[in-house]
Protein backbone atom coordinates (compact mmCIF):
# COMPACT_ATOMS: atom_id res chain seq x y z
CA UNK A 1 0.00 0.00 0.00
CA UNK A 2 1.38 3.39 -0.86
CA UNK A 3 1.89 5.87 1.92
CA UNK A 4 -0.80 8.16 0.42
CA UNK A 5 -3.36 5.36 0.66
CA UNK A 6 -2.23 4.52 4.18
CA UNK A 7 -2.73 8.15 5.22
CA UNK A 8 -6.17 8.14 3.59
CA UNK A 9 -7.08 4.86 5.28
CA UNK A 10 -6.16 6.33 8.68
CA UNK A 11 -8.19 9.45 7.88
CA UNK A 12 -11.22 7.29 7.01
CA UNK A 13 -10.83 5.49 10.34
CA UNK A 14 -10.60 8.77 12.26
CA UNK A 15 -13.64 10.33 10.59
CA UNK A 16 -16.48 10.87 13.03
CA UNK A 17 -18.81 12.97 10.89
CA UNK A 18 -20.09 13.14 7.34
CA UNK A 19 -18.38 16.53 7.01
CA UNK A 20 -15.03 14.87 7.67
CA UNK A 21 -15.79 12.24 5.03
CA UNK A 22 -16.79 14.97 2.56
CA UNK A 23 -13.47 16.72 3.13
CA UNK A 24 -11.64 13.52 2.21
CA UNK A 25 -13.77 13.11 -0.90
CA UNK A 26 -12.93 16.65 -2.02
CA UNK A 27 -9.19 16.12 -1.62
CA UNK A 28 -8.86 12.60 -3.04
CA UNK A 29 -9.93 10.86 -6.22
CA UNK A 30 -12.80 8.39 -6.29
CA UNK A 31 -10.31 5.63 -7.01
CA UNK A 32 -8.14 6.57 -4.01
CA UNK A 33 -11.17 6.59 -1.70
CA UNK A 34 -12.27 3.16 -2.94
CA UNK A 35 -8.78 1.68 -2.63
CA UNK A 36 -8.41 2.92 0.94
CA UNK A 37 -11.96 1.84 1.84
CA UNK A 38 -11.32 -1.64 0.42
CA UNK A 39 -8.35 -1.99 2.76
CA UNK A 40 -10.45 -1.33 5.85
CA UNK A 41 -11.70 -4.23 7.90
CA UNK A 42 -15.39 -5.10 7.69
CA UNK A 43 -16.20 -3.43 11.04
CA UNK A 44 -14.34 -0.32 9.91
CA UNK A 45 -16.22 -0.26 6.59
CA UNK A 46 -19.51 -0.53 8.46
CA UNK A 47 -18.53 2.43 10.65
CA UNK A 48 -17.85 4.59 7.58
CA UNK A 49 -21.12 3.41 5.99
CA UNK A 50 -23.11 4.36 9.10
CA UNK A 51 -21.62 7.84 9.17
CA UNK A 52 -22.42 8.38 5.50
CA UNK A 53 -25.89 6.80 5.82
CA UNK A 54 -26.69 9.18 8.68
CA UNK A 55 -25.83 12.10 6.40
CA UNK A 56 -28.10 10.83 3.64
CA UNK A 57 -30.98 10.16 6.02
CA UNK A 58 -30.70 13.59 7.61
CA UNK A 59 -31.09 15.19 4.18
CA UNK A 60 -34.14 13.05 3.40
CA UNK A 61 -35.99 13.84 6.61
CA UNK A 62 -35.14 17.54 7.01
**pLDDT at res. 23:** 94
What secondary structure does DSSP assign to the chain, as a single string? --HHHHHHHHHHHH--SHHHHHHHHHHS-HHHHHHHHHTS-HHHHHHHHHHHHHHHHHHHH-
pLDDT of residue 59: 72
pLDDT exceeds 70 at position 13: yes
Q: What is the pLDDT of residues 14-53, one digit of tens each?
A: 999 999 999 999 999 999 999 999 999 999 999 999 998 8
**Band (62; pLDDT cuts 50, 70, 90):** low
Amino acid sequence: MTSNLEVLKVALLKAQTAAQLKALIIHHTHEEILQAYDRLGLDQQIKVQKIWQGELESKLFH
